[in-house]
């Protein structure tokens, strides 16, 4: 059994601000995946602040790095960081999941600037990422590909077929990140489909694999800056997180995997938890 790192308890103002954008989207749509979005914030924050190469004014710039959010139901976290980086305006959150809005309950490529793949049918992101990484190699581009998956999502067989392919082709430009919050839609991963020993599983598929505290910004930054961990292998990062991180009454509670029809009191409590309205 892998030992879970001691997770960071406090959040700085930037992490709270990004969470406030997520809450604004929850309010705008009166629905959304609270737990799945909040566990992703630090992973996406570090990628877009310090690691990825991109141009918000030219989302299709050919030399960019790609970040595929395979667990598409966590899209509000992605929308928050894309807004923060100037891909589109925060007012779109007020129309989240509405007929007059651009932002749906799962990300859509070609509709939302900065979204690299239409995801939400779970298990598709890593196969897409393998294809993108192979394409970059064949075109002799140094673009890197990051694929963020949920732990419940990796029950899907397509994930492991893609992992075999990535290992075979030694795709060192590919990094798989598992948001290991240990809770999926109906309960704990240990109860529904135990994933341990998870680090060893990815190693056995030919990935250079480590685990990390997924809320520790400094640890994530140091780790991502070391990539690839092995120049002859793809990388897998098992990122230990807390589902619903930053919203005390939602943390670790499967009932907050998805929620709709928020009460004014619930929204106010969420805003208070993250500091202020965005």
pLDDT at 153: 97
- Containing 238, the helix (H) or strand (E) segment is strand 235-240
pLDDT at 184: 93
pLDDT at 3: 47
Count of other CB atoms within 10 angstroms of residue 175:
28
pLDDT at 275: 83
- Containing 90, the helix (H) or strand (E) segment is none
Exposure letters 45-82 (e unless 16+ CB within 10 A, then b): bbbbeebbebeeeebeeeebbbbbbbbbbbbbbbbbbb
CATH for 13-273 (3.20.20.10, 3.40.50.970, 3.90.79.10, 3.30.2350.10): 3.40.50.970
pLDDT at 8: 61
- 254, 185 contact by CB (below 8 A): yes
What is the residue whose two structure tokens read 């092995």?
230
Each residue's pLDDT, cut to its tens digit, for the chain (278 residues) gives 344 556 666 899 999 999 999 999 999 999 999 999 999 999 999 999 999 999 999 999 999 999 999 999 999 999 999 999 999 999 999 999 999 999 999 999 999 999 999 998 999 999 999 999 999 999 999 999 999 999 999 999 999 999 999 999 999 999 999 999 999 999 999 999 999 999 999 999 999 999 999 999 999 999 999 999 999 999 999 999 999 999 999 999 999 999 999 999 999 999 999 987 65
Q: Please state, in angstroms and rounded to a whole number, the distance separating the CA atoms of residues 213 and 6.
A: 7
Q: Where are the domains of the chain?
A: 13-273
Q: Please state, in angstroms and rounded to a whole number, the distance separating the CA atoms of residues 59 and 56.
A: 5
The residues, ordered by sequence, that sit 6+ positions from 216 with a Cβ below 8 Å of its Cβ are 7, 8, 42
Tokens of 25: 């989207």
């Amino acid at each position: 059994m892998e030992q879970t790192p001691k997770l960071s308890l406090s959040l700085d103002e930037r992490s709270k601000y990004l969470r406030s954008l997520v809450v604004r989207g929850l309010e705008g749509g009166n629905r959304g995946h609270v737990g799945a979005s909040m566990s992703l914030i630090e992973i996406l924050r570090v990628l877009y602040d310090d690691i990825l190469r991109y141009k918000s004014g030219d989302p299709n710039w050919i030399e960019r790095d790609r970040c595929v959010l395979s667990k598409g139901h966590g899209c509000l976290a992605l929308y928050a960081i894309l807004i923060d980086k100037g891909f589109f305006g925060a007012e779109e959150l007020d129309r989240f999941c509405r007929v007059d809005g651009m932002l749906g309950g799962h990300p859509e490529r070609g509709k939302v600037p900065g979204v690299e793949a239409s995801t939400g049918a779970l298990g598709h992101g890593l196969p897409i990422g393998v294809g993108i990484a192979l394409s970059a190699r064949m075109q002799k581009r140094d673009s890197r590909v990051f694929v963020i998956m949920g732990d419940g999502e990796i029950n899907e067989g397509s994930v492991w077929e893609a992992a075999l392919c990535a290992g075979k082709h030694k795709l060192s430009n590919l990094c798989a990140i598992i948001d290991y919050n240990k809770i999926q839609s109906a309960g704990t991963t240990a109860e529904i489909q135990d994933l341990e020993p998870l680090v060893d599983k990815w190693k056995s598929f030919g990935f250079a694999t480590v685990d990390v505290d997924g809320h520790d910004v400094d640890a994530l930054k140091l780790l991502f800056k070391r990539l690839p961990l092995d120049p002859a292998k793809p990388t897998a990062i098992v990122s230990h997180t807390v589902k619903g991180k930053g919203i005390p009454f939602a943390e670790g509670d499967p009932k907050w995997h998805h929620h709709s029809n928020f009460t004014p009191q619930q929204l106010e409590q969420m805003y208070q938890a993250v500091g202020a309205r965005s």
